[in-house]
Amino acid sequence: MIDPASIAFDIDDVVADTMQLFLDIAREEYGETDLYSEDFTCYNLEDCLDLDPVILRKIFERIIDGDYSATLHPIDGAVEVLQRLADSFSPVLFITARPFAGPMTKWLPCVLDVDQKDIEIIAVGDFDKKAGILVERNISYFIEDRLETCFKLETRGITPVLFSQPWNRKTHHFTEVHNWRELESLIEFETRNPEL
């Protein structure tokens, strides 16, 4: 069981349904209607999507900058589990490879319906920098969707938990969860006496 004080989370495609946002922007703003979530078979989308690289870059820039009209939704179940976690331990730590936290600092507290003080978001700008922050913060477990990052984390003594996505279907030995209910079952939440 994972101690709530020893866990941290990636944001994109673990908490935020960024893949669906990408599809919505591609369809609504660029007319790319022949894209589906099952097409996202690799993390570097230019390697698996038949999409103009200029459009691909523009969509990524818009997502990073928060410059889109589509709605970014949380992954099913994330809100309930993270609110429960924030009740047990705060601040809940999020580490993203985004170059800046920007829109996430507004989106995440609103979606989770928690105070800003109950969460901490660190943008490291590079997947390989996540491990250093986790070690500094004495975090033992990290929930991640990028398989390559999981291997790097393991070399630094951090136990990755892989959040299943179409792009991480290669062979691995990590604990894997397919949804937030499975993840919730791994966390040792405090049991509170309802009579108190």
In single-letter form, the type of residue at position 159 comes to: T
- What pLDDT sits at residue 57? 94
Tokens of 103: 């829109």
* Cα(166)–Cα(42) distance, integer angstroms: 7
Q: H-type helices in the chain, by residue range?
A: 18-30, 53-65, 78-88, 104-112, 130-136, 147-155, 180-184
- pLDDT at residue 113, as a whole number: 87
- Tens place of pLDDT per residue across the chain (196 aa): 899 999 999 999 999 999 999 999 999 999 998 998 888 998 888 888 888 999 999 999 999 999 999 999 999 999 999 999 998 888 999 999 999 998 999 999 999 988 889 999 999 999 999 999 999 999 999 999 999 999 999 999 999 999 999 999 899 999 999 999 999 999 998 754 344 4
pLDDT at 111 (0 to 100) = 93
Q: What is the pLDDT of residue 46?
A: 87
Q: Is the pTM of this model over 0.85?
A: yes
- The dotted CATH code for 4-16+74-184 is 3.40.50.1000
State the Rg of the chain over Cα.
17
Contact predicate 122/108, CB 8 Å: no
Domain boundaries, the chain: 4-16+74-184, 18-65
| Distance from C-alpha of 127 to C-alpha of 148, rounded to nearest angstrom | 9
Answer yes or no: are the C-beta atoms of 153 and 142 closer than 8 Å. yes
Q: Give the integer Cα–Cα distance in Å for 6 and 9.
A: 11
Query: What pLDDT shows up at residue 191?
Result: 52
Residue-level pLDDT at 72: 97
CA 137 – CA 61 distance, rounded (Å): 29
